[in-house]
Structure 1
Amino acid sequence: MRVVTPGQAARHTGSKYLGVLVAAKMARHLNELRRGELMEDPTVSGAEPREKLTTVALEQVRAGTTEHRLVKRRRPDSL
């Protein structure tokens, strides 16, 4: 089992917090892709041991293979 710390993820994102948020969003995306694979092809076995999606996502953020961008939120005018 690999261990990826938030500090390692911060190298490509600028902060630990942002690194973890990017990895969490990536893990959700990977989960949707995997769910789609199982829906399309029921013969795909889910019994084989796989790396946890959060570990895969953190590893990708640590390696710098994911792209992310910050989008500034607009505040509602009615406040």
Structure 2
Amino acid sequence: MRVVTPGQAARHTGSKYLGVLVAAKMARNLNELRRNELAEDPTVSGDEPREKLTTIAIEEVREGTVKFTLTSRQRPIIPS
């Protein structure tokens, strides 16, 4: 088992927190892709051992192969 620390992910994202958030979002996307793959082709076996999606995601963030952008969002104005 490989150990990747948040500090290693921070090299390409600028902060540990952002690195973990980017990896989490990527892992969710990978999970959705895998779920769609199994739904489209039932002959694909989901039983074979694979590397965890979170491990794949944090490794990609650590290596700097993940492209991401930050968008600013404004809070909705609540009338008083």
TM-score tier (shorter): over 0.9
Displaced runs of 4 or more, over 6 A: none
CA deviations 1:46-70 (Å, max 9, x no partner) are 1111000000000000000001111
Q: Which runs of no fewer than 5 residues in structure 1 stay unpaired?
A: none
Code of the residue aligned with 2:76 in structure 1: it is P
Establish whether residue 36 from structure 1 lines up as the match of residue 48 from structure 2: no
Report deviation, 1:77. Answer: 2.8
Listed as ranges, the gaps of 5+ residues in structure 2 are: none
Aligned residue-pair number = 79
Taking every aligned residue pair, what percent have the same amino acid on both sides?
77
1:62 match: secondary structure = helix
Deviation of the 1:75 alpha carbon:
2.2
Name the CA distance, whole Å, in 1 between partners of 2:78 and 2:32: 36
Alpha-carbon separation, structure 2, partners of 1:33 and 1:47: 16
- Cα distance between partner residues in 2 of 1:63 and 1:7: 12
The normalised TM-score by structure 2 is 0.93
Alignment partners' CA distance in 1, 2:7 and 2:75: 31
CA distance in structure 2 between the partners assigned to 1:15 and 1:57 by the alignment:
16
